[in-house]
A and B are shown apart, each in its own frame.
Chain A
Amino acid sequence: MAAQGGVLLKSTDAAEPTNAIGWLQRWQQQALMTKQPLPGYGLILAVVALLGMGSMAGVLNYTQSHPINIWFPLALFAVIPLLTTLFTLYFSVRPAALIKGHPVLNHLVQQFRLSAYLPYQALLMRWLYWQTQTLALTFIVAALVTFFALALFQDYQFGWSSTLIRDDATMLNLVSLITWPWHWWFEVPGTQMISQSRFSTSGFATSNEVDGWWQTLVLSILTYGLLPRLLLMWLLQWRYVRALKRSIMLSGDVEQFMVAQQHTESRNALIDNIGDFELAHVHLEQLGIPLIGWHVSTERFNLIKNLGVDPWHQDEQWLCSDAAQQLSRIALLVNGMTTPTAELADGLMLLNKQVTLVLWFDGVSEARQQTQCKSWQYFARQHQLDLRIGE
């Protein structure tokens, strides 16, 4: 995402990319220049992982005198994660609320320095939902890893106990329901195991028959804790990518980037700021010096020569002739609406005389005259000419 209202830079690499990959690489170069969001997210993940490990270790080591009641780890690592996954699913598909009014999301935005992305809040919400799933996943995975790490070196006994479930048949029904997703592939607790693994504070019959509970626990965590969260994460990612694609199509961010990359400036352009100036006016009749023309209408003026209309060599011949060279001072009358050229400068060089340049405007607005005079002023300055406006 381009920073809001920020200045997009043109890459220093002059060669323009010829394909989409090239443009994406250039985009990525610019994205790296901006601040990366989510500082400290790694630390939060580490804390969540420790929480997952601590919870599992706590559940497994809660009691030494009784077996571990299977309901605790099931509730903590399968049922509650499943419920939170469903909650997240519900809230993530609801129409987006304003982040500013949402205490948790607003906190996350401040915490992870995402304020610059607030204008894209529909996208930001989806992105936050997707990213924060990694927290839940980290918790479950850390708990699972801890389970295997501890179970490798210690013999944990699982059983079940309940105040409300009094008969084995009800427990069997419940366990069958829980284990239904994998009962075709893995062995599930049967009547005998349920009966033998029931315990109360008064006693418990240890038997090899009850060892199957740990598999049920692991499969429950995988099926109800991990798998739904992975599916939700995939769904959220899909929704985010879809929204991002739409946003790219709708917003002008990519276009702004492309425009900035294609911005081309003129090379070695002439930069000369002619400020405000006022030119002196002169009556052509009162000049008192010979008048030569440059691209002017000969009928209207008493010119000794009109330059610029014949082939160059004819002008050149006249300029080098005695007729021209004997003149001590001359006035060069030009149509002010023409533009000064190097050919005129060449003519002046050949003359090599003190020249008064007289601009003639015929029925031209004041504004246009002023504009035209700028070029002539620049020309006169370059060639050290006296510049006037003829009347």
Chain B
Amino acid sequence: MVKPVFAVVGHPNKGKSSIVSTLTRQDAVRISEISGTTTEAQQFNLTIDGVSHYSLVDTPGFQRPRQVLDWLRNHAPNASERRQIVQRFVREQQTEPSSRFHDETELLAPILDGAGIIYVVDGSLPYSAEFEAEMTILQWTGQPRMALINPIGNESHIEEWQSALSQYFSVVRVFDPMTADTRKQLTILTAFMELHEPWRQQIEQTIEALQSYSASLVEKGAMVVVEHLQEMFSHVSEVKVPAQFAQSALQDKLKYDYQQQLRIIESAMRRQLQALFAHTLMQTETQTLTVEAPDLFDHDHWYLYGLDRQKIVALAASVGAAAGAVIDVGVGGSSLMAGALAGGLFSGVASVAATWKPERLKIHGVPLAGKTLTAGPIKELTFAYVLLGRSIDFLVMIIQRTHADRRIAQIQSHNMNERLQSLNKVEQVKLTALLQKAHKGLSEKDQLAWRDWIVTLTKNEKANG
């Protein structure tokens, strides 16, 4: 099967690189507001599951189209030799070390190597004759070609462009690389099919692969959210308080540590989602996570050597029982192990009494025990929903974002109550129950159910959006 290759060409600064970026899911294609950012032709591939489906060649814009056309017209004896003349022009310029037609050579070379043509124009500006030189040169190459009207900002001149472009191009479509969702991208791929029959089968397969890939990406993204939320829900921070006077200061430290840990996990989740959706260079602006739920904080006691009270009592009872057993052996077993029982009981009770007020346990003023302040795990439902909502907001944003969009991502907060309406009542109750037990760890079945609910919530968001 032939892999389709398209050269994306046009006037400078009309969004060629943006189109390449969106249609190949590459966020590292250099895009800038300054004209002439792309200086050489470069191939970018759309790869799904390690298989390259098609390539787009990002090219510099036409810089001297009228001069090139003059040259071609002066050298072409008749219409049948136009392609050969373009080839000759490119060959001659390629051998010249400092050719003034460097950009034209770069953009024409891949076309002459067999690439289809995608000609990009700005639909927000009126059509003018200056583009005719460019379109004529492309026509002379004889390659299959289509035009994409990029409505940069507004669509006021699309109709006049359509009528002009249809005289030079067999397929003309409107495509905004900044906002095009998967459905619109698939429409453009369908248009690619019409360009050249040998590419049809491959592009049909690409459309199929892209559809299932998009669905699987959303599922995998939701799974990343589930994994990280579970980690956040079960996270526990603790701090030991050796003396009463330090408690207030340490409580603040605990809160700070706990909040930091949750932020770290949340940021790891976002990085993974960015990596998954190929938005690794994306910058985000979002409200920082703050932990205010009072129920998250609790306290327990700690003892020297890290043993808890239960273990100390059990150990003391065992030691007492062992000492009693020695007496039992000494009397030849006639005591019927009463020594061991009594020893165990006595030591156990004594250690319970000794550890009743652990703060008082000291050796030469050094505390042997004290309070352990803990934060987490998250059992409080409101806070659980806050974390879930924040994660879904981010996931939705990244699903909707195109790879050409280089603005700082703003995460819109949505009301979780409204969002939940997309689940039926039973599902809402099940989701709530699941959030309540998530800190204990979830089975794979629960994780998958949670993932599917998140997918539903993002779909609803897309529909609303």
Stretch at the interface among A54-62, A66-74, A178-186, A309-317: A309-317
Is A118 close to B, CB under 8 A? yes
Count of B interface residues, CB-CB < 8 Å: 71
Q: Which one, A119, A120, A263, A274, contacts B28 given CB within 8 A? A: A263
| Bound Cα distance A252, B219 (Å) | 9
Interface residues of A in 240-262 (CB under 8 A from B): 243, 246, 250-252, 255-256, 258-260, 262
Stretch at the interface among A195-203, A206-214, A340-348: A340-348
Chain B: CB-nearest residue to A295: B130
Chain B 15-30 near chain A by CB (<8 Å), digits 1 or 0? 0010000000010111
Contacts of A101 in B (CB 8 A): 440
Is A280 close to B, CB under 8 A? no
Does B153 contact A368, Cβ atoms closer than 8 Å?
A: yes
Range, interface on chain A: 35 or more
Does A4 contact B50, Cβ atoms closer than 8 Å?
A: no
| Bound Cα distance A374, B128 (Å) | 22
Is B67 close to A, CB under 8 A? yes
Shortest beta-carbon distance from A321 to chain B in Å: 18
Is A270 close to B, CB under 8 A? yes
| Bound Cα distance A312, B66 (Å) | 5
Chain A 324-338 near chain B by CB (<8 Å), digits 1 or 0? 000000000000011
Does B231 contact A119, Cβ atoms closer than 8 Å?
A: yes
Contacts of B221 in A (CB 8 A): 252
Shortest beta-carbon distance from A5 to chain B in Å: 3
Does A8 contact B103, Cβ atoms closer than 8 Å?
A: no
Stretch at the interface among B270-278, B348-356, B385-393: B270-278
Shortest beta-carbon distance from A353 to chain B in Å: 21
Shortest beta-carbon distance from A275 to chain B in Å: 12
Chain A: CB-nearest residue to B104: A342
Count A-B pairs with CB separation below 8 Å: 176
Does B34 contact A312, Cβ atoms closer than 8 Å?
A: no
Is A147 close to B, CB under 8 A? no
Stretch at the interface among A16-24, A43-51, A154-162, A228-236: A16-24
Interface residues of A in 341-391 (CB under 8 A from B): 341-343, 346, 365, 368, 371, 374-375, 378-379
Q: Which one, B38, B219, B451, contacts A269 given CB within 8 A? A: B38
Is A339 close to B, CB under 8 A? yes
Is B201 close to A, CB under 8 A? no
Does B275 contact A340, Cβ atoms closer than 8 Å?
A: no
CB within 8 Å for A259 and B278 given contacts A266-B30, A308-B130, A343-B66: yes
Contacts of B38 in A (CB 8 A): 266, 269-270
Q: Which one, A98, A256, A265, A341, contacts B272 given CB within 8 A? A: A256
Chain A: CB-nearest residue to B40: A268
Is A97 close to B, CB under 8 A? yes
Stretch at the interface among B41-49, B179-187, B316-324: B41-49
| Bound Cα distance A95, B128 (Å) | 70
Contacts of A260 in B (CB 8 A): 275, 280
Does A343 contact B63, Cβ atoms closer than 8 Å?
A: yes
Is B242 close to A, CB under 8 A? no
Chain A 89-115 near chain B by CB (<8 Å), digits 1 or 0? 000000111101100000000000000
Chain A: CB-nearest residue to B228: A119
Contacts of B272 in A (CB 8 A): 4-5, 252, 256
Does B153 contact A365, Cβ atoms closer than 8 Å?
A: yes
Contacts of A8 in B (CB 8 A): 275
Does A252 contact B62, Cβ atoms closer than 8 Å?
A: no
| Bound Cα distance A119, B269 (Å) | 11
Is B339 close to A, CB under 8 A? no
| Bound Cα distance A96, B236 (Å) | 19
Chain A: CB-nearest residue to B236: A100
CB within 8 Å for A256 and B35 given contacts A313-B70, A341-B12: no
Stretch at the interface among B75-83, B413-421, B441-449: B441-449
| Bound Cα distance A261, B148 (Å) | 29
Contacts of A269 in B (CB 8 A): 30, 32, 37-39
Is A122 close to B, CB under 8 A? yes
Does B44 contact A264, Cβ atoms closer than 8 Å?
A: yes
6 intermolecular pairs with C-beta atoms under 8 Å apart:
A16-B47, A95-B443, A100-B236, A266-B42, A340-B35, A375-B36
Which 5 pairs show the lowest CB-CB distances between chains A and B? A5-B268, A269-B30, A266-B30, A342-B63, A252-B220
